[in-house]
Every structure is written in C-alpha cells, then in structure tokens.
C-alpha cells in the first residue's frame, strides 16, 4: 500500500444526487470525477436497478436527473455545445438558455425534450408534462461587460458573481414549448420551492435596495397565492409538502439570532404547529473536502419525513412519522444526500475511510451498493482518526487525532492543528483529503469541534460577541490534551491551519500565542470593521456575529478582529485566498499579510484567480492541487527544516 498523495484527487469518483424512480424499483445517481486535461469535472448519470449499476450518459456534463415517469429521465445537458445550464450571474446580452433531454430507459438515445430561454437552476415535475423551475431574471435595462453598476446590497454573492438587480425567480411551464409564466415578483428573491402535483410552496425574500433578512412562505394552488408565513417574521431554511400539507424549517431568531437552529413546522390555516422538538439542523452535515455534486439531505415519503443531521461528530438520519421521531442510522463518516421511496432510504455517503459511494440504509446499517473507489482506496495507506475529548469551561470538547502514515513508536513527529469553517460547522471522522495528505507527509493531524459549532444544540453554538474567547479557549485546551496524550509530538514543531472561520481563528491564534511554528490561513477574516461592509453576508450575519459595526460598538468589533493583534505575531504565515471569494473577501487576507510584512514576520500570499469561497471543495482541480501543495510546502519549510 502506498501513501496518500495530493494528486490522488484526480482519481476520486464522487457519487451524488441519488433519486428513486416513482415506483421505487430503481434509482438514478450522478458520478463525477476531476478531469486533469480539461481542469474541470466530468459528470454523468448511472442507474442502479437493484442488482447492479450501468452508465446512462456519456456527455460528461450531467449532474442530476428527475424522473418523468417510471421509464423516462429528464436532465440538462450541453450536447449541442451552444446552449446549456448557465451560471446565476448570466447576463441578458449572453442570451442564456438551458437545454433539456429525455432518456427512455427501455432503449434508445437521449432526445431533445425542450429548451428554456433562461439560466435554469432547478426544475421539478408537476402534473402531466408541466413543470416548475427557478431561473435568473435580470432587472437591469442595460449591461455592459466593461463595467458594473451597483444599486443594491448585496451586490455580489459568493459562487454566483455580481448579482446586483438579478433575481432568482419561480416560473411554471404548462407543457414543453409553452410560454413560461412568472410566479414571483421582481421584488422577490426565490430561495427554494417544492411541488405536490399541481401545487407549489415556495420561500422568498423581499428585495428593495437591500435584501430582507427574513423570509416568507407562499402556497400557489389553482392559480391563487396564499401567504403561509408573512414577510419579516421568520427565518426560513426550506419549505416542502409532507403528506400533502405544507411544512417549513424555520425560526423567529429571537433567542439566538439568524444562526438559530430552525424547527420543523406544519403550516396550518390556524398558524404554524411544530412537528417535533429537536435542537438540531434538519438537513445538516459534516464538514469535508472529499465530496462533490448535488443532492438533498431531506426527503418526504408519504406521511414520513426523513432528514440527515449532525449529532456531535457523527452523521445521523432521522425519521418523523405518526408524531414520533426515530433514529434510523448513526455512524462515523458523512452523509451528502438522501432519497426515500416506499420507506427505502438511499444515501450518498462517505463511510469510514472510503470516498463517496451509494448506500441503502437498512436496519440501522449502511449497505454499500457501489464500489467505484474500491481499487483506489484499497491501495492507499489511510490513517483513521482516533477520537479524543477534553473538558473546557464545563463543556466536553470532542475531536480526533490522525497519526502519521507509517507511524513508528519512539519517533518524534511534527503536528498540524486543523480548524473547521463556520463557525457553525463540525468535523467528523470521515475521510478528509487535506488531513490525509498531511498525515502521509509525516504529520500528526488533530482537530476538534469548539463552541460555536454544529451538532451540540443552540446553547453550544451561541458565539455572538464572543469570537476569539471561549472558542479559542476550547481549541487551546484540546491542543494541550493532544500534546499530553501523544508525547511523541514535538511541541516545537506545531502548525495551525483552517479556512473561513478556521482562517479567522488561525489569524487570531498567531496574535495570541507563539506556540505554533507555522500557520496557513485560508479564505480568512482579519478585520470585521471592513469585512462587514463589502461581503455578501456582512450587513446581516457579519454584524450580528460580532454584535456591532463601525458606528455602534466599534470597540467591541475591533476587539474581535485579529488584525488588532497582528503586531504581536511571531509565526511565519501563508495566506491563501481567491479573488472571487465574496464571502471572505481577499482584502481580509491582504490586510493581515501586509501587517505581518510591516512587523517583519515571514509571510507569503497565494491568490487564486476566478475561484470562490469553496476553492478547497469544488474549485478547479489544478487549483485544488496547487492549494494543497502550497499548504503542505509551507508546513514542510518550517516544521521539517
């Protein structure tokens, strides 16, 4: 067996978007793989029929499908190379359109089904040959590629580009070739929808010069709209139909703000009724960098509602039916998507040290149905995480330690602390490529889930106005526990890295301790006073998490900004950022980089062009490989020299 290498990324095969057929006898799913030559991802449809799998498409651009009936599939593709699914930020002058094809599983090639003159993001079948779909609508009278005009907040959105005066709208289509009918207004931003025969329930935000922080839920039935959740009252994650009745995951945010964990409510005529009490996210997941593709973590099957969530460091699938909530599955790994039909649960999962495969969840166990990564994983020396816990301020903080590949007793090793994003995120015990790469290069890797994260309920997740305090204490307490439990780690050769919130904490750590000999800060935040004035979530979530802004409580905001403490830093630090990251804009990393240069600290800035906040998870394959090479190279320079 050989050690994990950075470029193994090109060999990973990612199962995603499982979908049962209407009769529940077979399922379709997508299989994706990085293409080194094209520097993109190839994705095609496969069919599982209960006994095995077979490939359905070969155009390399099909990411998901919906069932038209028991024998026909509908999917978007760019087969004529002139049209196809477009990005959210498509402009009118580019004439965006999306081509859909149907494939009869009884035989024959895929046939052109219809073409819609929109950049379609999602489509769902209603009755007969009618559909509901979401697509981009441009409110601007004129667009010019030479410049941008901003009139709204936010004016850009991570992963979508410049979005000023662009709306995601809901449309219905009576039949292929018919004229699409707009459902939502120009001052609405669609955030999600579901169908039940001829009915639609959808979630939207009101839009003026600034997007509303709250959502409304509307039912469209028989051509009439009925408001189920009025505007400016609730924070709604999604809406759907359960046994024909509208339901929604939502909260008023009065206790914990916009980060409050939503409950699941039945939207009855007399007002919302909570279906069950459970302080967890219905549709949550474990953080990772080894999944790719689409899919939903919630599913509705007759009178039953199923959802994936996080319980501490483990993924869980729960079922609500007949007024009772039960646990169907809990194990190490991660769950990327689920589909349920007639009580049978399919899931795309990472189980233990495997990469994503298709599983059936049955009798509390995950039965693996595919083995696309068997040959690769069977030949790799993968180090399994070893769980470890420590008490911090009355809380048990849980995490894990990964030993170096080929670990030998009696030897001394360097180690790297990894910090997850969020802060409302959670690490688990699933395969994590970045960590396994470091382990293969001779590092201990350790990580934990400090307060502020997912999987432990609302009180544990509450971090507003406390950034860099209790979370820092938890992480340092866990670090101490690791060093006590693994004395073979060389305390003089510790590194720290993280992305997003993990990048923020990396910036914070180097200004508060010199115990780390190297740091790599990815897509980070350094100055909340600036961050919240130019990022896509700054005026909402950003101001709330630090409990202030430039004009109201700036002292407290500055206290929570790592830039304030940059003059204390002694740790050589690499900054990795992307120039299309509109969630944690590159100016954040550049401010910290410039400060370290000013104070004579060895530093380096690696800026990727055209990438967004999700570089490490879904960026161009070459850039993902380069990013990991930069990170590992920086650690090698200071921890092995």
Q: What is the CATH number of the domain that holds 568?
A: 3.40.50.1820
Domain count, the chain: 2
* pLDDT above 60 (res 86): no
Q: What is the CA radius of gyration of the chain?
A: 24
pLDDT band at 141 (very low <50, low <70, confident <90, very high): confident
HSE-CB at 278 with a 13 A cutoff on CA atoms is: 25
- Give CA torsion, residues 430, 431, 435, 438, to 10 deg: 150
What pLDDT was estimated at residue 94?
Answer: 52
Cα-flanking dihedrals φ and ψ of residue 48, to 5°? -110, 125
Nearest to 219 by CA among 188, 194, 238: 194
Question: Is residue 110 a part of any domain in this protein?
Answer: no
What pLDDT was estimated at residue 428?
Answer: 96
- Contact 445/400 with Cβ under 8 angstroms? no
What pLDDT was estimated at residue 82?
Answer: 46
Question: Is residue 263 a part of any domain in this protein?
Answer: no
* pLDDT above 90 (res 544): yes
Q: Are residues 394 and 319 in the same domain?
A: no
State the pairing for strand pair 573-578/518-522. parallel
- Contact 438/3 with Cβ under 8 angstroms? no
CA 321/CA 530 separation, integer angstroms: 47
Q: What is the pLDDT of residues 64-74, one digit of tens each?
A: 999 999 999 99
What pLDDT was estimated at residue 80?
Answer: 60
Question: Is residue 62 a part of any domain in this protein?
Answer: no
HSE-CB at 389 with a 13 A cutoff on CA atoms is: 8
Task: Quote the DSSP letter at residue 207.
Answer: B
CA 55/CA 32 separation, integer angstroms: 12
CA 556/CA 529 separation, integer angstroms: 10
CA 7/CA 167 separation, integer angstroms: 39
Q: Are residues 409 and 372 in the same domain?
A: no
pLDDT band at 451 (very low <50, low <70, confident <90, very high): very high
* pLDDT above 90 (res 209): no
The mean pLDDT of the chain is: 95
CA 606/CA 574 separation, integer angstroms: 8
What pLDDT was estimated at residue 269?
Answer: 85
Partners of residue 35 on adjacent β-strands? 40
* pLDDT above 80 (res 91): no
pLDDT band at 95 (very low <50, low <70, confident <90, very high): low
Task: Quote the DSSP letter at residue 144.
Answer: B
Q: Are residues 460 and 344 in the same domain?
A: no
What pLDDT was estimated at residue 297?
Answer: 98
Among 348, 382, 416, the domain-final residue is 382
Q: Are residues 495 and 593 in the same domain?
A: yes
For the residues 519-531, what does the mean pLDDT come to?
Answer: 98
What pLDDT was estimated at residue 414?
Answer: 98
Domain of residue 556, residue span = 389-639
pLDDT more than 70, % of the chain: 98
Question: Is residue 197 a part of any domain in this protein?
Answer: no
Task: Quote the DSSP letter at residue 36.
Answer: T
Which residue would you say has higher pLDDT here, 641 or 533?
Answer: 533
Only one residue has tokens 């688990």, namely 428
Q: Are residues 349 and 489 in the same domain?
A: no
Q: Are residues 342 and 489 in the same domain?
A: no
CA 592/CA 579 separation, integer angstroms: 16
Element (H, E) at 461: helix 458-461
> Minimum mean pLDDT among 48-57, 206-215, 496-505: which range?
206-215
End-to-end CA distance of the chain: 27
* pLDDT above 50 (res 49): yes
Question: Is residue 467 a part of any domain in this protein?
Answer: yes
For the residues 275-304, what does the mean pLDDT come to?
Answer: 96
Q: Are residues 454 and 364 in the same domain?
A: no
Cα-flanking dihedrals φ and ψ of residue 177, to 5°? 95, -15
For the residues 241-254, what does the mean pLDDT come to?
Answer: 97
Task: Quote the DSSP letter at residue 371.
Answer: -
Q: Are residues 583 and 514 in the same domain?
A: yes
What pLDDT was estimated at residue 207?
Answer: 86
Question: Is residue 493 a part of any domain in this protein?
Answer: yes
Question: Is residue 162 a part of any domain in this protein?
Answer: no
Nearest to 221 by CA among 242, 188, 194: 194
Among 327, 351, 382, the domain-final residue is 382
Long-range contacts of 110-113 (CB under 8 A, 24+ apart): 110/57, 110/75, 110/77, 110/79, 113/74, 113/176
Q: What is the pLDDT of residues 218-241, one digit of tens each?
A: 999 999 999 999 998 999 999 999
Q: Are residues 313 and 413 in the same domain?
A: no
CA 339/CA 132 separation, integer angstroms: 20
Task: Quote the DSSP letter at residue 384.
Answer: P
CA 530/CA 411 separation, integer angstroms: 46
Q: Are residues 417 and 503 in the same domain?
A: yes
Q: Are residues 378 and 393 in the same domain?
A: no
HSE-CB at 206 with a 13 A cutoff on CA atoms is: 10
At 246, list the tokens: 């509208």
Give whole-number Cα distances, 20 to 67, 227, 338, in Å. Answer: 8, 31, 10
* pLDDT above 70 (res 211): yes
**All residues at 6 or more sequence positions from 568 whose CB lies less than 8 Å from its CB, including other chains:** 511, 512
Edge-to-edge strands, sheet with 263-268: 188-196, 199-206, 215-221, 224-242, 245-251, 263-268, 271-274
Question: Is residue 72 a part of any domain in this protein?
Answer: no
Partners of residue 515 on adjacent β-strands? none
Q: What is the pLDDT of residues 357-382, one digit of tens each?
A: 999 999 999 999 999 999 999 999 99
Examine residue 154 and say whether the peptide bond preceding it is cis (omega within 30 degrees of 0): yes
Strands (E), 141-293: 156-157, 161-162, 166-173, 181-182, 188-196, 199-206, 215-221, 224-242, 245-251, 263-268, 271-274
Q: Are residues 512 and 418 in the same domain?
A: yes
* pLDDT above 90 (res 90): no
pLDDT band at 84 (very low <50, low <70, confident <90, very high): very low
* pLDDT above 50 (res 93): no
∠ Cα 459 463 468 (to 5°): 140
Among 382, 406, 435, the domain-final residue is 382
């Amino acid at each position: 067996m050989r050690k994990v290498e950075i470029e193994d990324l090109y060999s990973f095969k990612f199962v995603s978007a499982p979908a049962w057929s209407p009769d529940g006898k077979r399922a379709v799913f997508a299989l994706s793989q990085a293409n080194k030559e094209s520097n993109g991802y190839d994705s095609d449809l496969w069919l599982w029929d209960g006994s095995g799998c077979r490939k359905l498409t070969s155009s390399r651009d099909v990411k998901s499908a919906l069932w038209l009936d028991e024998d026909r599939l509908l999917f978007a593709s760019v087969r004529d190379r002139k049209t196809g699914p477009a990005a959210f930020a498509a402009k009118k002058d580019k004439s965006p359109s999306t081509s859909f094809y149907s494939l009869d599983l009884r035989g024959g090639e895929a046939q052109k089904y219809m073409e819609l003159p929109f950049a379609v993001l999602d489509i769902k079948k209603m009755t007969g040959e009618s559909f509901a779909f979401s697509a981009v609508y441009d409110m601007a009278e004129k667009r010019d590629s030479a410049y941008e005009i901003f009139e709204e907040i936010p004016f850009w959105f991570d992963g979508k580009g410049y979005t000023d005066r662009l709306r995601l709208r809901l449309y219905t289509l009576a039949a292929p070739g018919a004229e699409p009918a707009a459902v939502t207004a120009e001052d609405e931003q669609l955030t999600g929808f579901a169908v039940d025969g001829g009915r639609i329930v959808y979630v939207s935000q009101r839009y003026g010069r600034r997007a509303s922080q709250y959502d409304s839920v509307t039912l469209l039935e028989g051509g009439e709209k009925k408001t189920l959740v009025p505007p400016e009252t609730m924070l709604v994650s999604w809406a759907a139909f359960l046994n024909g009745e509208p339901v929604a995951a939502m909260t008023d945010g009065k206790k914990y703000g916009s980060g409050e964990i939503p409950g699941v409510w039945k939207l009855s005529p007399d007002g919302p009724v909570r279906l069950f009490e459970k302080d967890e996210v219905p549709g949550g997941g474990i953080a990772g960098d080894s999944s790719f593709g689409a899919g939903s973590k919630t599913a509705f099957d007759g009178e039953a509602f199923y959802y994936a969530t996080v319980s501490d460091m483990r993924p869980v699938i729960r079922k609500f039916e007949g007024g009772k909530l039960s646990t169907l599955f809990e194990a190490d790994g991660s769950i990327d998507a689920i589909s349920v039909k007639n009580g049978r649960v399919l899931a795309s999962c990472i189980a233990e040290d495997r990469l994503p495969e298709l599983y059936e969840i049955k009798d509390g166990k995950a039965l693996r149905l595919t083995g696309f990564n068997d040959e690769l994983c069977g030949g790799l020396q993968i180090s399994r995480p070893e769980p470890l816990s420590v008490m911090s301020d009355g809380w048990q903080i849980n995490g894990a330690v990964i030993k170096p590949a080929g670990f030998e007793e009696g030897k001394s090793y360097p180690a790297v602390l990894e910090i997850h994003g969020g802060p409302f995120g959670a690490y688990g015990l699933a395969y994590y490529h970045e960590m396994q790469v470091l382990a293969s290069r001779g590092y201990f890797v350790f990580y934990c889930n400090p307060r502020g994260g997912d999987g432990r309920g609302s009180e544990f997740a509450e971090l507003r106005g406390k950034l860099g305090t209790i979370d820092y204490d938890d992480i340092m307490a866990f670090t101490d526990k690791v060093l006590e439990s693994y004395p073979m780690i060389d305390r003089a050769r510790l590194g720290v890295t993280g992305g997003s919130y993990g990048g923020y904490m990396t910036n914070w750590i180097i200004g508060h301790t010199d115990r780390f000999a190297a740091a790599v800060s990815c897509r980070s935040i350094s100055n909340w006073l600036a961050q919240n004035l130019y990022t896509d979530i700054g005026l909402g979530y950003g101001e709330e998490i630090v409990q202030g802004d430039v004009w109201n409580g700036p002292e407290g905001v500055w206290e929570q900004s790592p830039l304030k403490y940059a003059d204390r830093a002694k740790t050589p630090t690499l900054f990795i950022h992307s120039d299309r990251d509109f969630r944690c804009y590159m100016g954040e990393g550049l401010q910290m980089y410039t400060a370290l240069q000013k104070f004579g600290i060895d530093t380096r800035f690696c800026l990727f062009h055209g990438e967004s906040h999700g570089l490490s998870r879904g960026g161009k394959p070459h850039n993902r490989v380069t990013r990991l090479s930069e990170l590992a190279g920086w650690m090698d320079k200071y921890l092995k020299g």
